[in-house]
């Protein structure tokens, strides 16, 4: 049986381990943290399984707003230019992907991946618990101009398999009565009836149990990888802080840390960390049942069991991953302004920050590298939970004998 190392136990690494184990590979997963989805973006993300809202990050509207983001005038989005050559190279490619044509092409490519994930993730609903709900999602637009642009994109996405509908304000209120408590004006919404939600951390924890029990997958936690070892352009192992693990086959699924580790084998990958924050609070009865994305404030609301997960903010350029109190406060204030009575904002607030591993075109990087035996499944950006099963299956398909 072929042996393979999966580097990283975030949701992408765990999905990869599952897809490979099902193909008959003998899988070992290595991660620096003490358990799956403990230390990366899969711990506290927005929880949305956003199969139809797949808009790429690089877009004409982002470029139009760039001066505002660079001057710190938008609480949700910050861009600080870093002089590092890898940031400049990434930024140039990001800008090249910001034309309308590239934005639409990238959004459709991600949609196709998301649709592949949908059936694969729903298969787990009978197998294990991860606060999975089929709630649908409302994406709110504050003005008619934004709604009209969304209408055009919606009709394009629907040609490729999405099932989105544009709703007037009244139709949105009928669909989600909790919008009565929405703290701002909105012109209308896009309704994605088949979007879902679930806790990716819980998914990873329960998937670990299933992988150990049913497939004999081995987990090596508390093992920080320092470098990849190659000989004659082929994988021979990895060194960790404590030892060396031999292998002829490995997949890098290290989220925002992928580029750093790939560099130790001479690979340059265009993945930049974009920092975000979330808070989890007890939900009140007046919380929305459907997932909500507030496009004007770039904030998402999603129920996870009896809790409400609120996520947002995108800090590009100088994201080091450290928790910044003032940025978290900005999200908290924004959330309270949007749905003041949706949850208990005082006392029980669970604060978190994480790094989205973003590529210039927002598309994950999946497949082989120039090094024999070394593969990639990384760069899932803002949609790694949603896309995890699709990219894992694609990778496993390409590796299967
Ligand atoms: C605020 C926010 C909201 C989001 N909301 C959503 C959402 O609603 N829906 C959605 O689909 N996606 C969302 N995302 C994106 C999603 O969370 C990520 O794309 C996804 O979690 C990436 O998964 P990953 O496994 O690639 O990386 P991670 O989850 O970051 O996992 C990387 C793993 O690598 C390990 N690691 C790192 N370095 C080393 C090393 N040297 N040695 C060993 N192990 C190492 C870490 O411990 C970690 O376990 C959001 C992200 C953020 C930040």
Condensed to tens digits (0 to 9), the pLDDT of residues 323-340 reads 999 999 999 999 999 999
| Cα→Cα distances 49→54, 127, 203, Å | 10, 18, 12
Ligand 1 lined by 197 (C-beta under 6 Å): no
Q: How confident is the model at residue 321 (pLDDT cuts 50, 70, 90)?
A: low
Mean pLDDT throughout 87-102? 97
Q: Check residue 86 and give its pLDDT.
A: 92
Q: What is the pLDDT of residues 133-180, one digit of tens each?
A: 999 999 999 999 999 999 999 999 999 999 999 999 999 999 999 999
At 195, list the tokens.
Answer: 């979007």
Any idea what the CATH number is for the domain that residue 124 is in? Answer: 3.50.50.60
* Domain around 75: 3-399
Ligand 1 mutation target, pool 196, 275, 320, 356, most atoms within 8 A of CB: 356
Nearest residue to 362 (alpha-carbon basis) of 334, 335, 382: 382
Mean pLDDT throughout 41-53? 97
Q: What is the pLDDT of residues 263-306, one digit of tens each?
A: 999 999 999 999 999 999 999 999 999 999 999 999 999 999 99
Ligand 1 mutation target, pool 41, 196, 366, most atoms within 8 A of CB: 41
Query: Counting atoms of ligand 1 from 1, which one is nearest the CA of 40?
Result: 30
d(CA 90, CA 111): 23
Query: Per-residue pLDDT for 1 more than 80?
Result: no
Mean pLDDT throughout 42-68? 97
Q: What residue's CA is closest to ligand 1, atom 9?
A: 48
Q: Check residue 319 and give its pLDDT.
A: 55
d(CA 188, CA 186): 6
Identify whether the C-beta of residue 251 lies closer than 8 Å to the C-beta of residue 61: no
Ligand 1 mutation target, pool 42, 48, 239, 389, most atoms within 8 A of CB: 42
Identify whether the C-beta of residue 106 lies closer than 8 Å to the C-beta of residue 376: no
Q: Check residue 401 and give its pLDDT.
A: 72
DSSP letters for 129-147: -S--B---EEEEESSHHHH
Q: Check residue 400 and give its pLDDT.
A: 77
The Å distance, Cα 242 to ligand 1 centre, comes to: 24
Nearest residue to 199 (alpha-carbon basis) of 286, 121, 140: 121
Ligand 1 lined by 255 (C-beta under 6 Å): yes
The DSSP letter of residue 10 is: S
Helices (H), 217-288: 258-263
Ligand 1 lined by 50 (C-beta under 6 Å): yes
How many independent structural domains does the chain possess?
A: 1
| Kind of pairing between the strands at 250-252 and 3-7 | parallel
Q: Check residue 82 and give its pLDDT.
A: 86
Nearest residue to 145 (alpha-carbon basis) of 205, 198, 188, 193: 188
| Cα→Cα distances 57→39, 106, 271, Å | 24, 9, 13
Q: Check residue 317 and give its pLDDT.
A: 82
Q: What is the pLDDT of residues 221-241, one digit of tens each?
A: 999 999 999 999 999 999 999
Ligand 1 lined by 11 (C-beta under 6 Å): yes
What number of other Cβ atoms are within 10 A of residue 300's Cβ? 27
Q: Check residue 348 and give its pLDDT.
A: 78
Give helix 144-159 / helix 100-122 axis angle, nearest 10°: 60
pLDDT top residue among 222 and 2: 222
Q: What is the pLDDT of residues 102-129, one digit of tens each?
A: 999 999 999 999 999 999 999 998 899 9
- Provide the mean pLDDT of the chain: 96
Instruction: Say which residue the tokens 């004999």 belong to.
Output: 216
Name the percent of the chain lying above pLDDT 90: 95
Q: Check residue 222 and give its pLDDT.
A: 98
Mean pLDDT throughout 204-217? 98
**Distant-in-sequence contacts of 152-155, Cβ < 8 A, 24+ apart:** 153/55, 153/104, 153/107, 154/190
The Å distance, Cα 357 to ligand 1 centre, comes to: 7
At 206, list the tokens.
Answer: 């329960």
Q: Check residue 320 and give its pLDDT.
A: 65
Query: Per-residue pLDDT for 190 more than 80?
Result: yes
Query: Per-residue pLDDT for 59 more than 60?
Result: yes
Query: Per-residue pLDDT for 8 more than 60?
Result: yes
Ligand 1 lined by 273 (C-beta under 6 Å): no
């Amino acid at each position: 049986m072929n042996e393979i190392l999966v580097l990283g136990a975030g949701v992408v690494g765990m999905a990869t381990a599952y897809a490979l184990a099902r193909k008959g590979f003998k899988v070992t997963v290595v991660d620096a943290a003490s358990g799956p989805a403990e230390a990366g973006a899969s711990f506290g993300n927005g929880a949305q399984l956003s199969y139809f809202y797949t808009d790429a990050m690089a877009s004409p509207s982002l470029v139009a707003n760039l001066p505002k983001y660079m001057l710190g005038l938008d609480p949700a989005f910050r861009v600080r230019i870093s002089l590092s050559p890898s940031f400049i190279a990434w930024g140039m490619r990001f800008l090249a992907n910001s034309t309308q044509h590239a934005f639409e092409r990238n959004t459709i490519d991600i949609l196709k991946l998301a649709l592949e994930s949908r059936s694969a993730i729903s298969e787990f609903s009978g197998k294990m618990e991860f606060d999975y709900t089929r709630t649908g999602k409302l994406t709110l637009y504050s003005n008619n101009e934004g709604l009209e642009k969304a209408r055009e994109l919606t009709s394009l996405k629907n040609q490729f398999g999405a099932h989105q509908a544009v709703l007037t304000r009244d139709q949105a209120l009928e669909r989600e009565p909790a919008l009565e408590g929405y703290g701002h004006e909105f012109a209308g919404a896009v309704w994605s009836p088949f979007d879902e939600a679930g806790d990716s951390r819980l998914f990873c924890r329960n998937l670990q149990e299933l992988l150990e029990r049913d497939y004999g997958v081995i987990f090596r936690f508390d093992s920080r990888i320092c470098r990849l070892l190659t000989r004659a352009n082929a994988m021979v192992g990895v060194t960790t802080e404590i030892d060396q693990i031999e292998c002829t086959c490995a997949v890098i699924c290290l989220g925002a840390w992928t580029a750093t580790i790939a560099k130790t084998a001479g690979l340059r990958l265009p993945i930049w960390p974009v920092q975000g924050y979330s808070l989890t609070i007890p939900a009140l009865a007046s919380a929305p049942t459907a997932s909500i994305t507030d496009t004007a404030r770039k904030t998402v609301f999603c129920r996870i069991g009896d809790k409400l997960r609120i996520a947002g903010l995108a800090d590009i350029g100088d994201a080091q991953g450290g928790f910044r109190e003032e940025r978290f406060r900005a999200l908290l204030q924004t959330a309270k302004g949007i749905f003041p009575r949706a949850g208990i904002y005082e006392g029980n607030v669970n604060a978190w920050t994480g790094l989205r591993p973003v590529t210039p075109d927002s598309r994950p990087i999946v497949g082989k590298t120039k090094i024999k035996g070394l593969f990639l499944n990384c760069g899932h950006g803002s949609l790694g939970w949603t896309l995890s099963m699709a990219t894992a299956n694609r990778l496993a398909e390409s590796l299967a004998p």
